[in-house]
Amino acid sequence: MEWKPEQIRLAVAQQLKTDSLLGIQDVPMHIEAPSMSRATAAQPAADPLEDSGRTEQLQILNRTSVVGCTKCGLASTRTQTVFGQGSSAPRLVFVGEAPGYEEDKKGLAFVGKAGQKLTDMIVAMGLTREDVFICNVLKCRPPNNRDPSAEEILACRPYLQQQLQILQPEVVVALGAPAAKTLLNTAQGIGKLRGRFHDLYLSGTEGVGPSIPAMPTYHPAYLLRNPAEKRKAWDDLQMVMALLGLERPG
């Protein structure tokens, strides 16, 4: 099988990001080219019409509901709402907590330091940010990045549920406790929840309608502060890769 330069470039990037994710300094001399099966994640949607339908549905949700939303107090302190971005036919969706300073300024999810770490995690999985969809539980920044309140989460979560209903991913990764607790309707901490798949109900109500698997893991900002936990996060991501049939690097 012939390896295209782009495939080799992706394989090298994946290996390097995996090493940096795990804090490994030595770069292996030989890097296996990726198997073709991995390319399935980057393939265009089976039905392009379906894909553009989802793009339009997402735009409608954003423009008619989120952009001008005043359902909670954060409307008065935000610079702008942050809907989230990425593929509109993703196999995998990442859900974080809330926009921070950079996100509030740019209107995009995960574009600051934590975002760079999330990019490393995505590339280590053999994917790109464009393959996946990235968003948050809250669409507006809490002042000084304080924790989201229960009222804010309650007001905003219908938007997240609608995003997931439109996107129909095969699996969701919940980054950190607020995302995991919101999506899985549980009070358990992230340390207890991580390491296994849970049922995420697209309706938002436990046991009602279809569910998809969700993997809770540590938030990239937490990994920046606690690098010793990176191994566990990588174990979680490898379970997601196995579910999606993505190959491990190297």
Q: How far is CA 205 from the centre of its chain?
A: 21
Q: Contact with ligand URA (CB under 6 A): which of 72, 92, 97, 173?
A: 97
Identify which of 130, 103, 121, 140 has the alpha carbon closest to the alpha carbon of residue 223.
121
| Rounded distance between C-alpha atoms, residue 232 and residue 212, angstroms | 22
Question: Tokens 């938030």 appear where?
Answer: 219
99 binds, among ligand SF4, ligand URA, none (CB under 5 to 8 A by kind): ligand URA
Task: Output the smallest distance, CB 71 to ligand SF4, in A.
Answer: 4
| Rounded distance between C-alpha atoms, residue 185 and residue 180, angstroms | 8
167 binds, among ligand SF4, ligand URA, none (CB under 5 to 8 A by kind): none
75 binds, among ligand URA, ligand SF4, none (CB under 5 to 8 A by kind): ligand SF4
User: Binding-site residue total for ligand SF4 (CB under 6 A)?
Assistant: 14
Tokens of 205: 């109500």
Q: Contact with ligand SF4 (CB under 6 A): which of 91, 129, 139, 194?
A: 139
Break the chain down into helix, strand, coil percent, rounded to 5.
Answer: 50, 10, 40
> Counting contacts by CB under 6 A, is residue 110 touching ligand URA?
yes
DSSP 72: S
Nearer Cβ to ligand URA, position 21 or 111? 111
Nearer Cβ to ligand URA, position 11 or 74? 74
Q: How many CB atoms lie within 10 A of CB 40?
A: 11
| Rounded distance between C-alpha atoms, residue 74 and residue 162, angstroms | 20
> Counting contacts by CB under 6 A, is residue 132 touching ligand URA?
no
Give the binding site for ligand SF4 (CB under 6 A). Answer: 66, 69-72, 74-75, 81, 138-140, 152, 155-156
